[in-house]
Chains A and B, each alone.
Chain A
Amino acid sequence: MGVLAWVWWYGLRRHAAYPLGSLAESLTNTAFGFVRAYVLLALWHARPALGGYDAADAVTFCFLTQALIGPVQIFGGMDLTERIRNGDVAIDLHRPVGLQGWWLAEDLGRATGSLLLRAGPPLAAGTLLFPFRWPGPAGLAAFTAAVALGALVSFAIRYLVALGMFWLHDDRGLNAVTLVMSLFFSGMILPLVVFPGRLGDIASLLPWAAQLQVPADVFLGHRTGAGLLGALAFQAGWAAVLLAAGWLLTRAARRKLVIHGG
């Protein structure tokens, strides 16, 4: 295996090391799923077929996005920030692979581990206790691709935020700002199909939509044929733009970095 494949594997192992902790997290994800599902059901009771979803779609959307909280790390953050703060990033910059590629491999490993450990309980609760809509095999395959691209976009955004550390020396402010965008415009708070008029149009074009709304639409079978290709291209396009920005910012950060101490 190449070095990045090993980094991916160790990232997976590291983040799967505390299965009980992950289980506890996914129980909270499930509990929030219940509350969100009831709220959405109340809305769809008042407005059936809102935004092209029916009640089962809305509930499926809700538990699916709760299951994806871990894999796309919707609440933000990356271990890289701490390494920039304490100077360990100098070691990362000395590696024979690029900083971005290294952390991308690590983060995809984390996402995979999180998907394996944290997605089960919310999906099981949704399937057993609510009207839930599973896709067919082709739909699942398309969904897998959409989740992978969503994780890529999620990494690209969080990597840009983490690099902000080189200039701001404290990441919490920037993290908090991007948290707002990521929660509201990904579909985490409410499905983007609920957003009225112009707000909905804009929200569906922003990169955060690629994290949850697009994978969920693919899962629900609302994107098929050319629509599916368009959705995946939308995700891939944002991933490419954001990763390129990350590459440029990495170059700038390399010139900016001063390691203290000796």
Chain B
Amino acid sequence: MRTYALLAWTWIRAAAQYPVSLALLAVATAVVSFLDAAAILVLFSRAPRIAGFTAPEVLFLYATSALSFTVSDLLLGTTEQLGERVRLGTLDAVLVRPVSPLIQIATENFSARRLGKLIPATAVLAFALPRLDVPWTPGRVAMIPLMAASGTAIFAGLWVLTAAVQFVLVDSHGATKSLTYGGAFVTQYPMTVFARDFVRGVTFVVPLAFVNWQPALYVLDRPDPLGLPAAARFASPAIAAVLCAAAAVAWRAGIRHYRSTGS
């Protein structure tokens, strides 16, 4: 953990060498991630309800998804470039250093600009929460930090898992983006928008529905379109734990089986 903080700070200082660029980047990153919220606002400027959900409810989903995704992206997002390192052979240099390869790769180019993404997520959450038409109970209030934490863990697991795939399929990064970035995009919308089979896929195959949809059903007191038992709404932490464990195993297997380019 100390190593992570130290390396992250080093990269932040490196980025600060170009101050104009850094400032533009932080602002622009915030605005880019706000674009998805702007899209939701534009959609609801044309219809009061979409797929049975109101604007504050969808913004609540956007905010919880964006919050989880941003924190996980901040911590582990750069692992997506693993395939590039394998191709260039720079992973060898990482492996000979006395620090965990995952920490080195995760902190590389660690940039304060990604913090900019937290601004729209938290601002939209603060905007949406008081506008939700739900009777607040201690359980519902407690669910919000819990879903943010388990959502972050689910995305963290996905980052590491998709990075581990790149040990084997070096070119797969283009496709695995549909799980990480695509996952962040899917979870911004209520699952009632999507076809039933699509929802089954993001529930049982890739557990994206547990990032925020299932807990949100509890917070918003809505029926589940798939008719899953009520326990599913509280399953996110368990799902996150399983996914992270699977990711850890896959990562270790990837490191162990890594052969250098050999030239």
Tell me the complex Cα distance, A9–B29, Å: 35
Tell me the complex Cα distance, A176–B186, Å: 23
| Given contact pairs A35-B185, A42-B50, A173 touches B20 in the complex (Cβ within 8 A) | yes
Give chain B nearest CB distance to A169 CB in angstroms: 7
Q: Is the CB of A184 within 8 A of B175?
A: no
Q: Is the CB of B182 within 8 A of A24?
A: no
Q: Is the CB of B178 within 8 A of A31?
A: yes
The answer, among A35, A42, A170, A176, for a CB contact under 8 Å with B28, is: A176
Q: Is the CB of B22 within 8 A of A173?
A: yes
Tell me the complex Cα distance, A25–B176, Å: 9
Q: Is the CB of B29 within 8 A of A24?
A: no
B51 at the interface (CB under 8 A from A): yes
Q: Is the CB of A194 within 8 A of B21?
A: no
Q: Is the CB of A183 within 8 A of B21?
A: no
B129 at the interface (CB under 8 A from A): no
Question: What are the residues of chain B within 8 A of A177 when measuring CB–CB?
Answer: 24, 27-28
Question: What are the residues of chain B within 8 A of A31 when measuring CB–CB?
Answer: 178, 182
Q: Is the CB of A196 within 8 A of B46?
A: yes
Which 5 A-B pairs have CB atoms at the shortest separation, nearest pair first?
A: A173-B24, A24-B174, A176-B28, A31-B178, A46-B47
Tell me the complex Cα distance, A80–B173, Å: 24
Using CB atoms, name the residue of chain A closest to B49: A46
Contact surface of B with A, Cβ cutoff 8 Å: 18, 20-25, 27-29, 31-32, 35-36, 38-39, 42-43, 45-47, 49-51, 171-178, 181-182, 185-186, 189, 192-195, 198
Q: Is the CB of B178 within 8 A of A180?
A: no
A56 at the interface (CB under 8 A from B): no
Write out, one digit per residue, whether chain A residues 33-76 have a CB within 8 A of any chain B CB (1) or not (0): 01100110111011100100000000000000000000000000
Contact surface of A with B, Cβ cutoff 8 Å: 18, 20-28, 31-32, 34-35, 38-39, 41-43, 45-47, 50, 168-174, 176-177, 179-180, 183-184, 189-190, 194-196
Q: Is the CB of B51 within 8 A of A34?
A: no
Beyond contacts A35-B194, A170-B18: 12 other A-B pairs, Cβ-Cβ < 8 A, are A25-B175, A28-B177, A31-B178, A32-B182, A39-B50, A42-B51, A42-B193, A46-B46, A172-B21, A176-B24, A177-B27, A180-B35
| Given contact pairs A27-B174, A35-B182, A173-B25, A180 touches B42 in the complex (Cβ within 8 A) | no
30 contacts between A and B (CB under 8 A): A18-B171, A20-B171, A21-B171, A23-B174, A24-B171, A24-B174, A25-B174, A25-B175, A28-B174, A28-B178, A31-B182, A32-B178, A38-B194, A38-B195, A39-B189, A42-B50, A43-B46, A50-B46, A168-B18, A168-B20, A170-B20, A170-B21, A173-B20, A176-B24, A177-B24, A180-B28, A180-B31, A189-B35, A190-B39, A196-B46
Question: What are the residues of chain B within 8 A of A43 when measuring CB–CB?
Answer: 43, 46-47, 50
Using CB atoms, name the residue of chain A closest to B44: A43
Tell me the complex Cα distance, A18–B24, Å: 33
Q: Is the CB of A38 within 8 A of B193?
A: yes
Question: What are the residues of chain A within 8 A of B49 when measuring CB–CB?
Answer: 46
Using CB atoms, name the residue of chain B closest to A197: B45
Tell me the complex Cα distance, A26–B174, Å: 8
Q: Is the CB of A47 within 8 A of B172?
A: no
Question: What are the residues of chain A within 8 A of B198 when measuring CB–CB?
Answer: 34, 38
Using CB atoms, name the residue of chain B closest to A200: B42
Using CB atoms, name the residue of chain B closest to A129: B195
Tell me the complex Cα distance, A45–B49, Å: 10
Give chain B nearest CB distance to A60 CB in angstroms: 18
| Given contact pairs A32-B185, A35-B189, A46-B47, A196 touches B24 in the complex (Cβ within 8 A) | no
Question: What are the residues of chain B within 8 A of A174 when measuring CB–CB?
Answer: 21, 24
Question: What are the residues of chain B within 8 A of A180 when measuring CB–CB?
Answer: 28, 31-32, 35
Q: Is the CB of B38 within 8 A of A184?
A: yes
Tell me the complex Cα distance, A171–B186, Å: 30
Interface centre among A20, A169, A170, by most B CB within 10 Å? Answer: A170
Q: Is the CB of A176 within 8 A of B171?
A: no
Question: What are the residues of chain B within 8 A of A27 when measuring CB–CB?
Answer: 174-175, 178
